[in-house]
Structure 1
Amino acid sequence: MSLERINPAELSPPTGFSHAVTATGSRLVLLAGQTALDGAGRVVGEDLPAQFATALGNLLAALKAAGGAPGDLARVTVYAADVADYRAHAPELGRIWRRLAGRDYPAMAVIGVVRLWDEAALVELDGLAVLD
């Protein structure tokens, strides 16, 4: 599997994402949206950073179960119930990402939503990975 992160000089410098990612591999893994649900199905974490860490951990656990690793992520979409809160916590969320997933960023988008499936959920992440 090979991912190439592309960040053209004429675009604004990416912070916490890549502008484009090309992927070569033989297995596509589509990762369902993950929130901060624990093993019993309860939303855990009182604030966005705590929920983001759990949701990202859940996404990475699903990826690992499929045979992948964080570096295999080609695309991640973040659904935030409060984009202003997400922006306010962006530096902390970046530190959480680097701690759990490393410094290679996939193509990403943050989308503001009215609410998520679980009313207590503040954030949801889904993704796409390419494996050998």
Structure 2
Amino acid sequence: MSAERINPPDLSPPTGFSHAVVATGSRVVFLAGQTALDTDGNIVGDTLPEQFERALTGLLVALEAAGGTPADLARVTVYATDVADYRAHVSGLGRIWRRLAGRDYPAMAVIGVVRLWDERALVELDGFAVLP
């Protein structure tokens, strides 16, 4: 994939995301929402950072199985049951992101939700990638 990350100087400086991503490639991979489920279908982790790491890992495992890498991510949406808690942990979540996915940030949004499918889930990530 060729990805051009665009961050216009007329917008606020992006931290942990890109304002726009122009992606060219031959395959688009749509990634289903991932929460902190283990292989037995149980939510693991009691804190938002623990669950975020597990959900991001799941997203990246699905992406890799489709032939992609974190640099191929064009868009990721984060659904959080407590946006204030997400903001309180944003530095640590950024470190988790960089360790697992690097610094090629996709276009991103964080959306507050009342609850997720599994009542114990605190966060869910979905997205799409463009592969060469």
For Structure 1 versus Structure 2, the TM-score category normalised by the shorter chain is: over 0.9
Match of 1:5 in 2: 5
Whole-Å Cα distance in 1 between the matches of residues 68 and 38 of structure 2? 21
Q: Is 1:42 matched up with 2:42? A: yes
Shift of 1:27: 0.1
Whole-Å Cα distance in 1 between the matches of residues 88 and 104 of structure 2? 22
Q: Any residues of structure 2 matched to 1:55-66 within 5 Å, and which?
A: 55-66=55-66
Whole-Å Cα distance in 2 between the matches of residues 23 and 108 of structure 1? 14
Whole-Å Cα distance in 2 between the matches of residues 115 and 46 of structure 1? 15
Shift of 1:11: 0.3
Match of 1:93 in 2: 93
Shift of 1:112: 0.1
Q: Is 1:125 matched up with 2:122? A: no
| Superposed CA RMSD | 0.3
Q: Could you tell me which amino acid in structure 1 is paired with residue 106 of structure 2?
A: P
Shift of 1:2: 0.3
Shift of 1:63: 0.2
Q: Any residues of structure 2 matched to 1:100-111 within 5 Å, and which?
A: 100-111=100-111
Query: What TM-score does the superposition give when structure 1 sets the normalisation length?
Result: 0.99
Whole-Å Cα distance in 1 between the matches of residues 50 and 7 of structure 2? 30
- Which digits, 9 at most, give the CA deviation of each residue in 1:57-86, with x for residues without a partner? 000000000000000000000000000000
The gaps in structure 2 that reach 5 residues or longer are none
Q: Could you tell me which amino acid in structure 1 is paired with residue 2 of structure 2?
A: S
- Aligned residue for 2:67, secondary structure, equals coil
- Which digits, 9 at most, give the CA deviation of each residue in 1:92-120, with x for residues without a partner? 00000000000110000000000000000
Whole-Å Cα distance in 1 between the matches of residues 98 and 104 of structure 2? 8
Q: Any residues of structure 2 matched to 1:59-78 within 5 Å, and which?
A: 59-78=59-78
The gaps in structure 1 that reach 5 residues or longer are none
Shift of 1:130: 0.2
- Aligned residue for 2:125, secondary structure, equals strand
Identical columns (%): 79
